[in-house]
Amino acid sequence: MSLLGLIGKKRRGLRLTDGDIGAFIKGVTAGALPDYQIAALLMAICFAGLDSDETLSLTLHMAHSGKTLDLSSLPGVKADKHSTGGVGDKTTLIVAPLAAACGLTVAKLSGRGLGHTGGTVDKLESVPGLQTALTTSQFLAVVQKTGVCVAAQSADLAPADRVLYELRDVTGTVESIPLIAASVMSKKLAAGADCILLDVKCGDGAFMKTPADAQTLADTMVSIGRGAGRSCRAIVSPMDTPLGHAVGNALEVTEAVEVLRGRGPADLIECCLELTEGLLALARERSGAAYPSARAKLADGSALRKLSEMLSAQGGDVSVLTRGFPPAPFIREVLSDKSGELARADAEAVGVAAGLLGAGRSRKGDPVDVSAGVLLRKKPGDAVTAGEPLYELHTSAEAALPAAEALLREHILIH
């Protein structure tokens, strides 16, 4: 059937067959279809939806549209985690080495920041010398050596997703649960892990604004993962306020290292322990093996040693973990002008402010300022006294400070 035929079929609310979807993805990957027809089908999907068979079929064709990683040469249970995007979400920097310290094999591909949300690859690249653009054999060699590697996703993995995502971004077709689920899971399936733990963020700073939508996305992704023969589960975690205190690349690495040293903010620690325990439960179900508790491995310092081994194996200068990162040239401490309780620190606004300070990029390929970002000194629920520091703005661009401060004055509220 022609693409025009598929658009009509979906517009009338009919099911697409596996053959229809396979032909569509083949055409998308080959660059053989006009953008306006692809976008029309995506829009029809946004309105008419996809059932679970269609969603699985779309995901599998997207996952096989390019290279897939074969992790079978690696020992043990291969584990991966994915977060649907948040502000201050540095969980991968903690969960990946922690899960490896507990005995899992963690082979993870990550992305760069998108919009107001940060990306793990940008955070990792704050470490001087660290390489994230690894070939498959370099990636596998790091995992063989240390049990864990976090590298950048290469362009030849699920290339159909890249084409579709770029079109969705400019045609108002991002917000469709089956399309988001297929997009995320196609990359996870192509990356080859046995066990996939999904962290679906929910709240003002996330794609999913309501608990009901977040749960539907979580259920859809888990059903795809299981349908593809992987062990998969999801947690839904809040994203109304940033996770932890630090937002911005080097600031977040510093905070992650604090957690691995047994300190750091309680919300971040608990989220990381829940994610790691979730991965260990999946691995236990799959292999029947016993694993130590994540809390014990966090407490005994072995997760910090794992992070250090992984960063060194990827060429990073790990002395920065003890020495600290060079501070941003301009740091402004903003004080509270009244006493009360911090009622709100809006995640999206903090993410946008960090972006204005240089932590994010407005166009693909732009450089990021590794030292830039926002450090919250108070979190919702904390008591505040007039004159106390509320947050710090870090940047290399002094001119960016007033706009970032004005935005946060509007969105960090004391009652």
- For position 218 contacting ligand URA by CB under 6 A, the verdict is no
Q: Contact 116/205 with Cβ under 8 angstroms? A: yes
Gap between the Cα atoms of 52 and 244, Å rounded = 36
Rank residues 157 and 180 by Cβ distance to ligand URA and give the closer one.
Answer: 180
The residue from 57, 183, 237, 308 that is catalytic is 183
Compute, in degrees rounded to 10, the torsion defined by CA atoms 347, 351, 356, 362: -130
Strands 195-202 and 246-247: unpaired
Q: Contact 139/105 with Cβ under 8 angstroms? A: no
Which one among 91, 183, 237, 371 touches ligand URA, defined by CB under 6 A? 183
Which one among 41, 60, 150, 184 touches ligand URA, defined by CB under 6 A? 184
Using only C-alpha atoms, the chain has a radius of gyration, in whole angstroms, of: 21
Q: How far is the CB of 368 from ligand URA (least distance, A)?
A: 19
Binding mask 76-105 for ligand URA (x = CB under 6 A): --------xx--------------------
Q: Which residue sits closest to ligand URA, CB atoms considered?
A: 183
- For position 180 contacting ligand URA by CB under 6 A, the verdict is yes
Of 118-126, 173-181, 234-242, 374-382: span binding ligand URA (CB under 6 A): 173-181
Rank residues 208 and 273 by Cβ distance to ligand URA and give the closer one.
Answer: 208
Rank residues 146 and 183 by Cβ distance to ligand URA and give the closer one.
Answer: 183
Q: Contact 360/116 with Cβ under 8 angstroms? A: yes
Q: What are phi and psi of 106, to 5 degrees?
A: -110, 105
The residue from 61, 78, 81, 82 that is catalytic is 82
How many residues interact with ligand URA (rule CB under 6 A)? 8
188 is catalytic: no
Would you give the DSSP letter of residue 164? H
The residue from 81, 108, 168, 306 that is catalytic is 168
168 is catalytic: yes
82 is catalytic: yes
Q: How many residues does the chain have?
A: 415
- For position 298 contacting ligand URA by CB under 6 A, the verdict is no
Gap between the Cα atoms of 209 and 244, Å rounded = 20
Q: How far is the CB of 164 from ligand URA (least distance, A)?
A: 8
Token pair, residue 379, equals: 């979190």
Q: How far is the CB of 114 from ligand URA (least distance, A)?
A: 7
Gap between the Cα atoms of 264 and 259, Å rounded = 5
Of 34-42, 146-154, 176-184, 249-257: span binding ligand URA (CB under 6 A): 176-184
| Helix axes 177-190 and 211-227, enclosed angle (nearest 10) | 40
Give which of 122, 44, 91 is closest to 298, Cα–Cα.
91
Rank residues 224 and 294 by Cβ distance to ligand URA and give the closer one.
Answer: 224
Burial code (b: 16+ CB inside 10 Å, e: under 16) for 211-232 equals eebbebbbebbbbbbebbebbb
Question: Which residues in this chain contact ligand URA in the complex, by CB under 6 A?
Answer: 84-85, 165, 174, 179-180, 183-184
Catalytic positions: 82, 161, 168, 183, 187
